[in-house]
């Protein structure tokens, strides 16, 4: 088992990475402050891992809520099922919520923990690659609104993150590829050696080689933890994690939540950001082709929806509602080179229009 730490002073917490961690009581006991535990999971994960997870909390009063599975259920109406259980079972302020599932479950459970009785503890146990390398670390929680993704939420850090890499054995191939989009992102925004490593090991990762997956997860989490420690609430460099997300969130919302997986939207959205970076003279054609190739090898979409599916105006309207908009300006994460990204609202708006028009399939 490997252990990383998200350094946030008295709110610091560990990330445990290893095989067969799910049922280990000694791992979770130090991070449960009271006697009550509510495990929140979904209809896909519950049959696979809920009973095993309950074993880790056998010394506590354990209840479970099983939510429907899918991005389309990441909303306030479904979130109320968690509050109904907490209030109905008379959970108190010392209770602990446990997020057992992918990014949707993690975000919703974290937001419920942030809001219930003005804040209770929670533990992240991510079971998808995307959640393991990205959404489970850093304390971003929330739900979607029809007009924008993750527009309702809070920063609320977990007590710990437990990444059991064995859960990836049951992950669908499409979900594994979706997670690779976030892994590749870390190489693009600030870790060129990791990008080179991914180019060399991508087929091993897709084949679920345990050692390769463990290293990719550890290096991704280390990148995330380092930047979260410096910029917890995204006032500066943490915004680099949003490479491809402003475009990608527009795709998810515009096509209907659940039609495109989050990682698929990030993949196509990243290529839009890379295309715009090329138009600006930052990225040459060789680097553009190299980035496109790694996403294609990961079996991810590199093209956004066509004009009939999403017009330029639909894109712009949805991007204008993004959380990263400041003073009416859409802020984008663009590349200076592979391994170096920057956040800007100071760009030629005509280049954004050209990107939305020209980079289609």
Residues forming the active site: 118, 140, 182, 224, 234, 238, 242, 245, 249, 262
Strands ordered across the beta sheet of 121-126: 2-6, 13-18, 161-164, 121-126, 96-101, 36-42, 61-67
Integer CA distances (angstroms), 153 to 109, 139, 150, 167, 198, in order: 11, 10, 7, 27, 32
Residue 326 is classified by DSSP as B
Kindly tell me the sign of the dihedral angle through the C-alpha atoms of 73, 77, 79, 85.
negative
- Burial level of 340, CB count in 10 A (0-12/13-18/19+)? middle
- What DSSP character marks residue 260? B
CA atoms within 13 A on the CB side of 14: 12
What DSSP character marks residue 338?
T
Kindly report the backbone phi and psi dihedral angles of residue 45, in degrees, each rounded to the nearest multiple of 5, phi listed first: -80, -35
């Amino acid at each position: 088992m490997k252990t990383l730490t998200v350094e946030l002073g008295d709110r610091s917490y560990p990330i445990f990475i290893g095989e067969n961690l799910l049922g280990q009581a000694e791992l979770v006991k130090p991070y449960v402050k009271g006697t009550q535990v509510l495990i929140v999971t979904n209809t896909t994960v519950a049959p696979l891992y809920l009973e095993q997870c309950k074993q880790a909390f056998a010394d506590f009063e354990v209840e479970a809520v099983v939510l429907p599975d899918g991005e389309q259920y990441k909303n306030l109406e479904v979130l109320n099922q968690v509050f109904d259980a907490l209030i109905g079972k008379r959970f108190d302020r010392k209770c602990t919520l446990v997020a057992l599932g992918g990014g949707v479950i993690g975000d919703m459970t974290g937001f419920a923990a942030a809001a219930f009785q003005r804040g209770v503890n929670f533990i992240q146990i991510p079971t998808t690659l995307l959640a393991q390398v990205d959404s489970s670390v850093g304390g971003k929680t929330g739900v979607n609104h029809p007009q924008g993704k993750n527009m309702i939420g809070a920063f609320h850090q977990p007590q710990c993150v437990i990444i059991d890499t064995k859960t990836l054995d049951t992950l669908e191939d499409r979900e594994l590829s979706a997670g690779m989009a976030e892994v590749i992102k870390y190489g693009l925004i600030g870790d060129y050696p990791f990008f080179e490593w991914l180019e060399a090991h991508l087929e091993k990762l897709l084949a679920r080689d345990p050692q390769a997956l463990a290293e990719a997860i550890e290096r991704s989490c280390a990148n995330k933890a380092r930047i979260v420690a410096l910029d917890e609430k995204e006032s500066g460099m943490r915004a680099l994690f949003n490479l491809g997300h402003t475009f990608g969130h527009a795709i998810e919302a515009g096509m209907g939540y659940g039609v495109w997986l989050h990682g698929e939207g990030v993949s196509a959205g990243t290529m839009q950001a890379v295309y715009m970076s090329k138009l600006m003279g930052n990225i040459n054609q060789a680097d553009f082709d190299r980035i496109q190739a790694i996403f294609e090898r990961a079996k991810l979409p590199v093209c956004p929806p066509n004009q009939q599916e999403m017009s330029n105006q639909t894109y712009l309207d949805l991007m204008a509602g993004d959380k990263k908009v400041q003073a009416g300006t859409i802020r984008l994460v663009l590349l200076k080179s592979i391994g170096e990204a920057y956040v800007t609202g100071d760009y030629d708006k005509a280049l954004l229009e050209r990107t939305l028009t020209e980079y289609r399939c």
